[in-house]
Amino acid sequence: MRENNNKIWDVIIIGGGASGMMAGAIASSQGKSVLILDKNRDLGEKLKITGGGRCNITNNEPDIHKLLAVYGEGAPFLYTPFSIFGVKDTFKYFESRGLPLVVQARNRVFPTTEKAIDVYNVLRKDLNKNNVSIKNNCTVKKINTESDLVKSVETDSGVYFAHSFILATGGMSHPETGSTGDGFKWLKDMGHEVKDSSPNIVPLAVSDEWVKSLAGVSLSFMKITFYLEGKKQFSKTGKILFTHFGLSGPLILNSSKKVDDLLQQDGLVTACIDAYPDTNEGKLEELIIKTFDTNKNKILRTILKDIVPEGMAKSIELMNTGIDFNTKVHSVTKEDRKKIVRLLKSMPITITNLMGYERSVVADGGVSLKEIDMKTMSSKLYKNLRITGDLLNISRNSGGYSLQVCWTTGYIAGNSI
């Protein structure tokens, strides 16, 4: 049933994710009356599952230039926002509210509990303490504007009015959490320049059965090199997670945007994994010969576990090498031994596509930063509208960078009301 709600709020926030909750907490702490409208049954649905439920809350890269370089073309626009509310401020905000943080590998920061729900609870406590009104299961249908102002929001449960509005609906990653790109459509309708979204930080789908046979195996120090029509494009070294559809893990997620660029060129995209990036072929062959010498009378299949990374023995047999793995070790030919060496240094993969929004950590796209006052997150087209988080066209890697944008832009939007 629709109703006309004639109360005029100081702030209406559309979207109750990370940036929306932060904006609401900050605006309400200054005595503003705040209403959050969210289409889900509870706030922070995506926040609760981020980082596999552990919540990589930010990245503690101490060099601001290196930190912002991760954001690509958005970097020049972010110096001012990060000077207002940066990584140190994120630490202070959560730790001062009883949630200590810990820095782990690659400067990734997590709550010491490694529970995303604890991050949610800190924000929710602030909202409750400051009497923020929350309307869940509320679907926004239309944003009404007049000249250069937003006047009201039409929903399936009524019309709501405010002096200021914050749009924080998120992008299109994990649509099951409500991030279905509604904000992009509204902003386009309002005349903003909006880059269409595409999955950005996302796993890769492959056609190779040997990769899929390793589903659940995670290898910490692998080098992967990508090729377009057999021509080398780029390499990265780090952790790879094998899945039932292909490849994931931090190394893959942070390579996906470049891989997508290759896939758009309509050529065959392949990759090779070097399981021993710190060992050249000659040294690796020496190590294998030693293993063979101490296991001469065993079947080759039974000693694969001693010469390949943990968990990969069975997959080697699926790589169509032409090697007879039932051969006794002492009968393995020099050529077959060299094949094994080359294989471990260059395991072949065919990339078919990127996985979709449902598996993406971050989807890119959003409002051009040229149309945003980055000191306040205000739209330059509508002076009482602020835009936060994944609605902004800011590319970023996995590793805490995305949530930091949410904290920064949410804080600034809430603080500038």
In angstroms, the CA 388 to CA 20 distance is 8
For residue 362, the model assigns a pLDDT of: 53
CB 343 within 8 A of CB 319: yes
**Angle, in degrees to the nearest 10, between helices 334-345 and 281-293:** 130
Helix (H) or strand (E) holding 188: helix 182-189
244: helix, strand or coil: coil
Spans in the chain with pLDDT lower than 50: 1-2, 172-179, 357, 360
**Quick one: DSSP state of residue 25?**
H
In angstroms, the CA 404 to CA 408 distance is 6
User: Token pair for residue 200?
Assistant: 């950005």
**Quick one: DSSP state of residue 196?**
P
In angstroms, the CA 186 to CA 57 distance is 28
Nearest CA to 277 among 317, 213, 234, 223?
223
316-325 contacts, C-beta under 8 A, 24 or more apart: 316/210, 316/340, 316/343, 318/209, 318/210, 318/213, 319/210, 319/343, 319/347, 319/348, 324/300, 325/299, 325/300, 325/301
**Angle, in degrees to the nearest 10, between helices 401-415 and 18-29:** 30
CB 32 within 8 A of CB 417: yes
Domains of the chain with bracketed CATH: 4-199+361-415 (3.50.50.60), 201-275+348-357 (2.40.30.10), 281-346 (1.10.8)
218: helix, strand or coil: strand
Alpha helices in 201-272 (DSSP H): 209-212, 250-253, 256-263
In angstroms, the CA 282 to CA 276 distance is 12
Sign of the CA dihedral running 253, 174, 111, 412? positive
**Quick one: DSSP state of residue 131?**
T
**pLDDT per position as a tens digit, 77-122:** 999 999 999 999 999 999 999 999 999 987 989 999 999 999 999 9
116 Cβ contact partners less than 8 Å away, ≥ 6 residues apart: 47, 48, 49, 50, 51, 53, 54, 55
For residue 261, the model assigns a pLDDT of: 84
Q: What Cα–Cα distance (Å) separates residue 171 from each residue in 12, 27, 174, 395?
A: 19, 23, 9, 12
